[in-house]
Structures are given as structure tokens and as C-alpha cells.
Amino acid sequence: MKKYQKVYREMYEQWHRENQAYREQVAADENRLAYHLMPETGWLNDPNGLCQVNGVYHIYYQYTPFEPTGELKLWGHCTTRDFVHYQQCEPAVYPDQDFDAHGVYSGSAFVENGLIHYFYTGNVKYFDRDDYDYILTGRGSNTIHMTSRDGFYFSEKELLLTNWDYPADMSGHVRDPKVIRRADGYYMVLGARDIAGKGLVLVYRSEDLTSWQYHGRITTREAFGYMWECPDLFVLDGRLFLICCPQGVPQRGVDFANVHQCTAVMLDYDFAPGEYILEDMAQVRMVDRGFDFYAPQTFEDESGRRILIGWMGIPDPDYTNPTVEAGWQHALTLPRELHIADGRLVQTPLKELQALRRNRRVLEAESLNQAGERGLVYELEAEFDHCRSMTMTLRNGVALEWKAGLLTLDLGPCGSGRTSRSVELDRLDHLQIFSDTSSLEVFVNRGSEVFTTRVYGREGGIRLEGCGARVTLYDLEGFCWC
């Protein structure tokens, strides 16, 4: 056993034995979510290694059980067959080798002939260098491969690529591998920052999933942010899409208002070797308007659906998540199915989530207001007919306002310091809203725009003023952990 494996597995097991009280404290927090995946204790960020094998969905995630600020990253793990009943599993991957000593960073799964191939980044910090946390030489960014038949037992980790295998103009920031298969071979995308401070995607090619050669890059003429994290290249309804997370993109009007962005673009990239330049930046769209959406990952399930799960969180220096005090932080978004409509990516909550619905009621705006709905854990669907302006209150202090072509989600006093996010729209036809104890996911016009955010406020109150609508409301049952 390598020295790090011994240290971290023992650390985890000892922590688990000794920290019953910590787990109870977190479980008692009033902001715990009813139907979202959260860390049992501590910190969670990106979804990792998403896949379905033999009917079982595996959801791994960046995880630090020990404390809520996310110092040392493991892969947490849970499974489900239906997105309603879940099993909490032990952490799946520890930083147990010299090449992943300071964090088992994000990665993905690629399933072929019943074998799951995992590719992830082993993070190493060179503490003896002045710039160890940053840009040029201070980090080892190792691309690692391992396999599993069942998602629980893994092969030895195999180091595929390390800093000197990346192009010479890369900084120490290269990470988050994702693999796509084409008729002519396998391609891996990696998020990167070059030494000039420009974000881009590196593309590697392989014929056997083990030996990888540099193939080219996907980039822009002018820098679009200084680092692109978590790239995901996939075919959807016959078209090639790139989702990735550029950091350092300046806000433009109501767009790119989050701390870091998550963008999607349809590409005409033909995988020719060399540089592919994304010319038409107007086609780069936000995947979600925020505040809390980052580092999503997609995968194709056994029925052929392209499913996306994101991190419902973001490192936001202007805000301290109130759950930190209770010993935990962040969650994953609901799983969403992806499609193209009118030439753009649309997201719809998975149909399995309908099994959580209870107590359906259909109301017009007036009867909704009279009903005095006070729930916090609900799903609401509203269909509008020529609505020019309206205000929909989602809980006391939180409202969606539609006026003069602008839809704004205003968190009011429930934002813990965060204020509002907006989108410009031609029309407002439809809203589907998932409210959980301390989160909101608002799907606009059948998922062509989405707002995902944490929100804090214990007082319910659903109202609609300003225009008519047909509103369907459901209470939602929590996930079953069994």
C-alpha cells in the first residue's frame, strides 16, 4: 500500500467512527434539502464519473467529508436505479498515490463492453515552489485512468499524462478529462489555461484508451476567460456540442453575471488535427443563469438519453453559504435531460422526478392567491397566454418578475447577500419551478433558459400578480435513502 492510501483511508475510517455527533449536527440543519444530493457532512462540488451500468446509475462527486470548505478532494459515491431511491456508498476514490496526492480532482466515465473506464485529474501541489497554487509550474496536473466492472471495485490507477506531456505553452492548469468515441478513434478533451492566461480545450486522441497523443485544441481568437474547466464534448440529436466552464469572462449586460460561467455551443469541429477556432462567439450561450450552477457533466444512459447533472454551488467570494456554520456546503442539481429546440440546448427535469409528486392542484392566478400556499418543497408549472408582465412570489421575499422583455429572479432578503439574475426573452410562455428547502431551479419556456440557485428563507408564500395563468402545483416527497 502506498503511503498516501494508508494515510487517507485510515483518516476517513477513523473520522467516520469518531464523528457521529458531526453527522447528527449536519442532519439536523433546517437547510438540508429534501430531494437533492448533498454531502452527508462537509463539502461537495462537481459531479464526476456519471454513468449507467446494468441498470444502475453511478453518481460520483468531488467530496470532502471532513469539513465544509473543501480542502482535500475525494470522490464521493451514490447509486440509484430511478433517481428517486438512492443508496449512499463509501467514498470511491482517495488521493492515495504520489500522482494524486493533493486531490482526486474531477473526471468522467466512459463505458464500453460493460467495462467502465474512469479518467480523472490527480492534483499535486508543489509546496516548495513560490507559485505552488498557481499558474506556471506550481502544480502537477496528472491525467489518470482506472477501470471497474461494477462501479465499486477499481483496477490500479494508471498515469496517462503529466505536465510535460501537455503542449509547452500550457500553464500548470490542465484538468477534467472527458472522453468521446468516434468511428476513427477515441478523443479526450481537457480544460486548460495557457501561459499567456487564455482558456482553451486540449484534445488528445487514442486507439486503445491507454496511449494518448496530443491531437489539437479548441480555442478562440480573443481570450474568452483565463481558464476553461470541465469541458464536455458530446453529440446530441445528431449535433456536436461543447459545454465548458470559462473562468474570468467579463459580465455583458445581464449575461455572464455569475462568478464563473458555464457555457454551451454547437460546434462544426470535424476533429481534424491542429487548432480549431471558435469563430462565432455569439453562438456561445449560458447553460444556466445562476447563481449556483457550475461544472456540469453529461452522459448517455442505457436508454440513449443525454442526462446532465451540475454542481449547485460556486466558489463565491462575496457570500458565505449559511450552511457552512452547520458543517456542510453545496449540492448537486436535479438530473436534466438534454435536447435541441430551435437550434439551442434545452434542459428538462428527468421524467422520473414525477414520482415525487403529491397532492396535485390546478389553479388560476386568483384562486392560487386565495389558497395561501405556504410550502417550500414543491413543483409548480405555469402556462401563460400572452403575458406582458407579472410577478410570481416563490416564497416570502423571493420573486420572479417579468416586465419589458426581462425576466428577473430576485432573491430579496433570502439571498444571504446575493441579489438578482435576469434574462432577456421575446415572450414568457411556460415556467416549471422546483423549490426545495433551500434551493430553486426555474426552467423557463420549457427549459430554454434555467436559473439554479440556493436560497434561504423559511417562510413559504406562493402568489401570482399581473397576468392570468394556469398553475399546476404539487407537493414533493423527499428522496428515499434505502
Residues taking part in catalysis: 46
**Among residue numbers 171 through 200, which ones bind ligand FRU (CB under 6 A)?**
175-176
Nearest distance from C-beta of residue 313 to ligand FRU, angstroms: 9
Residues in contact with 439: Cβ distance below 8 Å, sequence separation at least 6, in sequence order: 33, 36, 292, 312, 331, 452, 453, 454, 455
Our CB check for ligand FRU shows the closer of 187 and 311 to be 311
Nearest distance from C-beta of residue 97 to ligand FRU, angstroms: 16
Give 357-410 as a DSSP string. Answer: EEEEEEEEHHHHHHHT---SSEEEEEE-SS---EEEEEETTEEEEEETTEEEEE
| Cell numbers describing residue 414 | 433570502
Burial class (CB within 10 angstroms; exposed 0-12, middle 13-18, buried 19+) of 296: buried
Q: Check: CB of residue 127 under 8 Å from CB of residue 109.
A: no
Which is nearest to 187 in space by CA: 273, 58, 275, 87? 273
Nearest distance from C-beta of residue 339 to ligand FRU, angstroms: 25
Nearest distance from C-beta of residue 62 to ligand FRU, angstroms: 4
d(CA 330, CA 68): 9
Residues in contact with 10: Cβ distance below 8 Å, sequence separation at least 6, in sequence order: none
Binding-site member from 203, 265, 287, 295 for ligand FRU (CB under 6 A):
295
Nearest distance from C-beta of residue 295 to ligand FRU, angstroms: 4
Q: Check: CB of residue 289 under 8 Å from CB of residue 263.
A: no
Burial 423-441 (b: 16+ CB within 10 A, else e): beeeebbbbbbbbbbbbbb
Which is nearest to 96 in space by CA: 209, 153, 11, 166? 11
Q: Check: CB of residue 379 under 8 Å from CB of residue 354.
A: no
Our CB check for ligand FRU shows the closer of 299 and 384 to be 299
Nearest distance from C-beta of residue 128 to ligand FRU, angstroms: 22
d(CA 89, CA 78): 5
**Among residue numbers 43 through 82, which ones bind ligand FRU (CB under 6 A)?**
45-46, 62, 73
| Cell numbers describing residue 243 | 459545454
Question: What x/- string results for residues 97 through 126 when contact with ligand FRU is judged by CB under 6 A?
Answer: --------xx--------------x-----
**Among residue numbers 206 through 245, which ones bind ligand FRU (CB under 6 A)?**
229-230
Contact residues for ligand FRU, defined by CB under 6 A: 45-46, 62, 73, 105-106, 121, 175-176, 229-230, 294-295
